[in-house]
Structure 1
Amino acid sequence: MYNEPIFLKPVFKDRIWGGTKLREEFGYDIPSKTTGECWGISAHSNGPSEVVNGPLKGKTLDQVWDEHRELFADQVGEDFPLLVKILDAKTDLSVQVHPDDSYAREVEGEAFGKTECWYVIDCEPDAELVYGHHAGSKLQFEEMVADNRWNKLLRKVAIKPGDFVYVPNGTIHAIGAGTMILETQQSSDITYRVYDYDRLDDAGNTRELHIEKSIEVAMIPHQDADFEPVLSANEDLKIEKLIKENYFTVYHWNLEGSVAAVENPSYFLVSVLEGEGELKIDDQSSSAFKKGDHFIVPSTVKKFGMSGDAKFIVSHPTI
């Protein structure tokens, strides 16, 4: 039986809006001064993570999913369901929207649409997000886009470190400049751009917009999702269940000491945001973890202990 966590090597993505904070904050060896995304736990074909420890070392997560489904509670489905990223927005991301599963399959031939959520790791004092819009109908939305009335159309929301934002498919959204987030999402790379501030890429070209598809999939009028975080504790582990919805359940964990037994509901996706410590299994094996690590606790590990001083974002599929 596989009896250890699966540590993963991140994949980095250069983005027009990216910066260098992934290196400065987490010590990652980033490829450029405009590195916008760290795909920490990914089995997506556009950037699968590689296992860096144990008997599966050298395999990519999509290979492990295909060959060892017992590590994932024998979950059915052709594709690994979730993707965990850290994003460094030095400048504003484009205003965008993502489709649901049905639209993604029918129009793009992809397995999943994209519902996501964000934990704000850090941000500037005056940081904002675009979250939703003010159009009351599809016709009004189309008219405001055509007239470039972006300041009237887009809904701005102030944020601070520690905030949590749920972004179901169809939500018009954009991460603002000076913000670093951890994103838990469906394993999808489908993005429809609504507006990109008329900025130019390195070749002097504007980036492609997807106005027609955006209008087809957008939630009009906008409605905020209704959810309530739940607090609990297990010895020295403080647990905040940030959200439980159809695709994922996401937690913020704060470890200040030790916990003897954490029950594993299926398989945990774990990203270490701060600190360091040790994960213990059956009092026989232990694995050190530190800030910036990403790992999976497979379903073959029914429970585990932890010690140290660290903060995490943890998730699992809602099955």
Structure 2
Amino acid sequence: MYKEPIFLKPVFKDRIWGGTKLREEFGYDIPTETTGECWGISAHSHGPSEVINGPLKGKTLDQVWDKHRELFADQEGEDFPLLVKILDAKTDLSVQVHPDDSYAREVEGEAFGKTECWYVINCEPGAELVYGHHANSKLQFEQMVAENRWDELLRKVSIKPGDFVYVPNGTIHAIGAGTMILETQQSSDVTYRVYDYDRRDDAGNPRELHIEKSIEVAMIPHVDADFEPVLSGNEDLRMKKLVRENYFTVYHWNLAGSVSKIENPAYLLVSVLDGEGELKVEGETSSSFKKGDHFILPSTIKNFAMNGNARFIVSHPTI
């Protein structure tokens, strides 16, 4: 039986709004000076992560999902459900919105829509997000878009390091300049741009917008998501459940010592935000981890121990 964490090699994405902080903050070997995204745990066809340890070394996560479903609590479904990223927004991201599952399947042929959430790793003083809008009806939304009344339409929210933002499908949103986040999302790459600050691509052309589809899928009027973080654990491992919803459950863990037994509820997706330490599986094999590592604890591991000083974002599908 498989008794070790599955460490993954990230996939990097060049973005017009990206920068170099993924290298500066996490030591990643990024491919360009405008690298915006690190896909740390991904089985999506646009960038599957590769296993870098153990018997599955060299396999991509989509291949492991297809051939070794016992590692994922025998969860049903053709596609691995989640995707974990770190984003470096040197400049503002486009204002965008994502569809639900039904719309994504029917219109785009994607397995999933996109509900996501963000943990703010770091941001510059005064950083903001776009989260929602001020239109009261679809007609008013359409009029404000047509008249380029973006300052009136878009709702901006101040942020600081450690903030958490839940972004259900249909939410108008944008990550602001000077922000680094960890994003946990459904495994989807469907994005509709509403507004892009009149930016142009490398060829000098205006970037494509998707106004009609955005209006079709947007939540109008906007309603803030209702969720309440839950604290548990002890001084050695403080666990904060950030959100539990239909697609995923996400936690922030703060390890400051030694914990002899942690239960694995299904299979866990783990990203190390800071620090280092050691993980021991059921009193047997040991694995070290450090800042910037991404790994999965498969469902064949029923419990594990940890020691060290580190912070993590941990998630699992809500099954």
Q: TM-score, normalised by structure 1?
A: 0.99
The separation in 1 between residues aligned to 2:234 and 2:285, in whole angstroms, is 21
Which residue in 2 is equivalent to 1:213? 213
Q: Report the Cα offset of residue 282 of structure 1.
A: 2.1
Q: Would you identify which runs of 4 or more consecutive aligned residues in structure 1 move more than 2 Å?
A: none
Which residue in 2 is equivalent to 1:189? 189
Alignment of 1:137-148 (within 5 A): 137-148=137-148
The separation in 2 between residues aligned to 1:235 and 1:48, in whole angstroms, is 36
Is contact 1:127–1:176 with CA below 8 Å preserved after alignment? yes
Is contact 1:235–1:258 with CA below 8 Å preserved after alignment? no
Name the SS of the counterpart of 2:55 in structure 1: helix
Name the SS of the counterpart of 1:66 in structure 2: helix
User: 1:103 aligned to 2:91?
Assistant: no
Name the SS of the counterpart of 1:104 in structure 2: helix
The separation in 1 between residues aligned to 2:284 and 2:113, in whole angstroms, is 41
Which residue in 2 is equivalent to 1:274? 274
The separation in 1 between residues aligned to 2:302 and 2:284, in whole angstroms, is 14
- Residues 71 and 235 (structure 1 numbering): CA distance in 2 closer, same or farther, change over 3 Å? farther
What percentage of aligned pairs have identical amino acids? 86
Q: Partner letter of residue 92 of structure 2?
A: D
Which residue in 2 is equivalent to 1:165? 165
Alignment of 1:39-188 (within 5 A): 39-188=39-188
The separation in 1 between residues aligned to 2:211 and 2:31, in whole angstroms, is 32
Q: Report the Cα offset of residue 302 of structure 1.
A: 0.2
User: 1:200 aligned to 2:197?
Assistant: no
Runs (5+) with no aligned partner, structure 1: none
Aligned residues: 319
Q: Partner letter of residue 155 of structure 1?
A: R
The separation in 1 between residues aligned to 2:251 and 2:112, in whole angstroms, is 22
For residues 94-135 of structure 1, what are the alpha-carbon distances to aligned partners after superposition, in whole Å with 9 as ceiling and x for unaligned?
A: 000000000001101110000000000000011000000000
Is contact 2:5–2:298 with CA below 8 Å preserved after alignment? yes
Q: Report the Cα offset of residue 234 of structure 1.
A: 4.5
Name the SS of the counterpart of 2:62 in structure 1: helix
My pick for the range that moved more, 198-207 or 301-310, is: 198-207
Q: Report the Cα offset of residue 283 of structure 1.
A: 1.8
Q: TM-score, normalised by structure 2?
A: 0.99
- Residues 163 and 3 (structure 1 numbering): CA distance in 2 closer, same or farther, change over 3 Å? same
For residues 159-210 of structure 1, what are the alpha-carbon distances to aligned partners after superposition, in whole Å with 9 as ceiling and x for unaligned?
A: 0000000000000000000000000000000000000000112211111000
RMSD: 0.5
Is contact 1:118–1:182 with CA below 8 Å preserved after alignment? yes
Q: Partner letter of residue 219 of structure 1?
A: M
Runs (5+) with no aligned partner, structure 2: none
Is contact 2:235–2:256 with CA below 8 Å preserved after alignment? no
